[in-house]
Amino acid sequence: MYIEELQLRNYRNYQGLEATFENKVNVILGENAQGKTNVMESIYVLAMAKSHRTSNDKDLIRWEEEYAKIEGRIKKSNGSLPMQLVISKKGKKAKVNHLEQRKLSQYIGNMNVVMFAPEDLNLVKGSPQVRRRFIDMEIGQVSAIYLHDMGQYNKILQQRNHYLKQLQIKKTSDHTMLDILTEQFIQAAAGSL
């Protein structure tokens, strides 16, 4: 699998870009601050529907524009697969083979990427949490079920942690809701294994 074509519209510093790639080594050359990293990032965003560099999608939209669009054609063993991701202030819209994907979990995994950047030294030097997140993202590309289960797990974890903080503040002894969240948390954790 490799990316054959990439088109950017209003993505970071690019008003428009069209690039083609070969099933060989591709080299991207340019002066400093001309957008080489942005091209690499856009390929990652096309595959994962999120950036490895920022958690704020608005950073991906070119200054004073309403949206950013990334389109690519992926060469697979059974043919070419067009993919499209539009990022706006309202959210994201993803298409695979010209069909809109209602959930990003249906979109992710159609194109597999592994991104290594200077900040990835944290995989070796950083906390176990950084390594777990990296592994989760890689597994999520090949298993939509795992990606869904991890989303549920993280959602329930946040709810449970928020409720625990509320219990501390209110100093209440009613743990009924905590018991329910804990049970859901255990089920979600077991599902993501």
Asked if residue 176 belongs to a known ligand binding site, the reply is: no
Using H for helix, E for strand and C for coil, what is the string for 22-82?
CCCCCCCCCCCCCCHHHHHHHHHHHHHCCCCCCCCHHHHECCCCCEEEEEEEEEECCEEEE
Asked if residue 191 belongs to a known ligand binding site, the reply is: no
Asked if residue 32 belongs to a known ligand binding site, the reply is: yes
Asked if residue 41 belongs to a known ligand binding site, the reply is: no
Closest of 153, 159, 104, 107 to residue 132, by C-alpha:
153
Asked if residue 109 belongs to a known ligand binding site, the reply is: no
In terms of DSSP bridges, do strands 2-11 and 14-20 run parallel, antiparallel, or are they unpaired? antiparallel
Asked if residue 187 belongs to a known ligand binding site, the reply is: no
CA distance 18 to 66: 20
Under a CB-based contact definition with an 8 Å cutoff, are residues 83 and 110 in contact? yes
Return the bridge partners of 67, or none: 88
Asked if residue 16 belongs to a known ligand binding site, the reply is: no
List binding-site positions for ATP. Answer: 30-37
List binding-site positions. Answer: 30-37
